[in-house]
A and B are shown apart, each in its own frame.
Chain A
Amino acid sequence: MSQREFEAYLTLLSKLLNLSPAQRNDVADELRDHLEERMTQLAAEGLSPEDAAHRAVSELGDAAGLARELSRPRAALRRRRILRWGFSASVATAVAAFLFWPNPHPVAPALVVAQAPAAPMAGGGPIGGPTVSPAEKRRAAVEKKLDQDVKDMEFDATPLRDALQYLSEVAEVPILIDRRRIEEAGVEFDGKINFTVKAGDVSFRTALEMILSEVDLIYLVREGVIVVTTRSEEPQQYEVRVYPCSDLLAAGIPQVAAAEGGEGSTPAMAGAGPLGGLPAAGAAVPMGAGFGAAPAGAAGGPMAAGAGKSNGKNAVFGAAYRPRSTHPAGAALLDLVQTMTDGPWLEVSGEGGNLREYGGMLIVRHKQSVHRQIEELLTRMREKRAK
């Protein structure tokens, strides 16, 4: 009898709480404990069980008022910690924009220029120098913030959502959680995150990756917003980015590749990679000699010879295969990128992302995680070269 009255009250109250399911459950458990205790006390004072139960419930007061009061501290905490995506119209718009984002597969996405150190554009190139779209600027701003050192961070059984809110606040980037897909994947938002780093240990990017890997999620950068979503979303999100690489190409790729790979000999490295069938990366110099004789962009002649070499491996493309690069060292750069990143690459395994070198620019269509690896690779190559 008393249980029924308690449960009716707690069910109503729970429904009115503006909290997560786990938090609602905690509130109900806490108040149930209170009601039971109070009822025992009142019964000991001589009240009938029914009266005791009724009095215990009425002492808690009106469920709506209590629910409002109990929701307030959490809401205040959330407000303090993050942009409140969940409760405003702009959020609905953001979510809708995300959910209905055009799938880049069927249509060629707009060309974006990747953030890269200002490299002199040799000869200007047919594209006419880097033009940075507003979308790309926003993305670059987020990437830059992610590269900051973390502050002291201590998550001790912290719900995922709170951890992300905290990250969002300290890194000053909006983090949007792709709630629908994550819930479909069965990931618990209130799953506990244990993660401690000291200021300067890692970048926000690494911290975010580590936290998300605990729950098997990933993040994508959508213009100025970080979207946390499931792994299954990633392959669909191909983007084209252009990396100005004239500086690296001018310096010659094979030497850098050998230094990066630490293998000592370039042919050994190329042989170990998925491009074993191609002439070793070290062969870029002889290939380059051939290319050097032909005007950039011309098809046929030495270019065709270069493509022919590739075709030895990439039979899937048959006759439709087009020149991969225009710069003498271009092919070596493409091979290096394909060897040193996760892929998959269309040229290598018949599916996945694709890449070209054109007028000193590396043009890549791939998912963000691979783009990140490419950025890191190019940065490291530049660092090595600067030494």
Chain B
Amino acid sequence: MTERFGPDLLRGSLDLLVLSLLSSSPGYGYDLQQRLREASGELVQIQAGTLYPLLHRMEADGFVRCRWEQSTGRRRKWYELTAAGKRRLVSQTREWDRYVACIRAVLDPVRTALEG
């Protein structure tokens, strides 16, 4: 089994990952946690203690909105992306791509040395 990513590496990208999950369909906390685990091939496991504050922060920022449902007999809080959240996802994705390309370029000599 491949090693999971370290928390330092993940910190800056969790927002983006959660936004991308919500762009395909609304979700509630536990559901998003599981979906992220599956989507990442078990490599990304976000802690509940990290996920809920993150969701609340995105709600306060207006990137997601919530609604409550009672169908399970318990109150369940569902999150969905707002228009601002969609814009955020697009801009963050672009930024992330540029970042990855940049890091890749910087690391090229290291990679060559390792392979060579």
Contact = CB atoms under 8 A, between A and B. Distances in A.
Contacts of A138: none
Interface stretch (B3-11, B51-59, B107-115): B51-59
B29 to A, nearest CB: 5
Interface stretch (A66-74, A104-112, A119-127): A66-74
Contacts of A60: 48-49
A30 B52 contact: yes
Contacts of B49: 59-61, 65-66, 69
Interface residues of A, number: 22
Contact of B52 (A29, A32, A70, A77): A70
Given A31-B52, A59-B48, A60-B49, A72 B74 contact: no
Contacts of A73: 53, 56-57, 59-61
Interface string A71-85: 011101100000000
Interface stretch (A33-41, A273-281, A320-328, A371-379): A33-41
B48 A29 contact: no
A70 B56 contact: yes
Contacts of B53: 66, 69-70, 72-73
A310 B105 CA distance: 95
A26 interface: yes
A375 to B, nearest CB: 39
Interface string A31-61: 1111011100000000000000000000111
Given A61-B47, A65-B49, A69-B49, A29 B56 contact: no
Contacts of A69: 49, 52-53
Interface residues of B, number: 19
Main SS of chain A's interface residues? helix
B77 A74 contact: no
Nearest to B74: A33
Contacts of B61: 73
Contacts of A37: 30
B76 interface: yes
B81 to A, nearest CB: 17
Given A66-B49, A66-B53, A73-B56, A29 B30 contact: no
Residue among A31, A32, A73 with most chain B CB within 10 A: A73
A33 B28 contact: yes
B70 to A, nearest CB: 10
Interface string B67-96: 010001011110000000000000000000
A74 B56 CA distance: 8
A38 B30 CA distance: 7
B55 to A, nearest CB: 9
Contacts of B68: 26, 29
Nearest to B62: A77
A61 B52 CA distance: 12
28 contacts: A26-B68, A29-B68, A29-B74, A30-B28, A30-B29, A30-B52, A30-B75, A30-B77, A31-B52, A33-B29, A33-B30, A33-B72, A33-B74, A33-B75, A33-B76, A33-B77, A34-B30, A34-B52, A38-B30, A59-B48, A59-B49, A61-B47, A61-B48, A66-B49, A69-B49, A72-B57, A73-B56, A74-B60
Interface of B: 28-30, 47-49, 52-53, 56-57, 59-61, 68, 72, 74-77
Interface of A: 26, 29-34, 36-38, 59-61, 65-66, 69-70, 72-74, 76-77
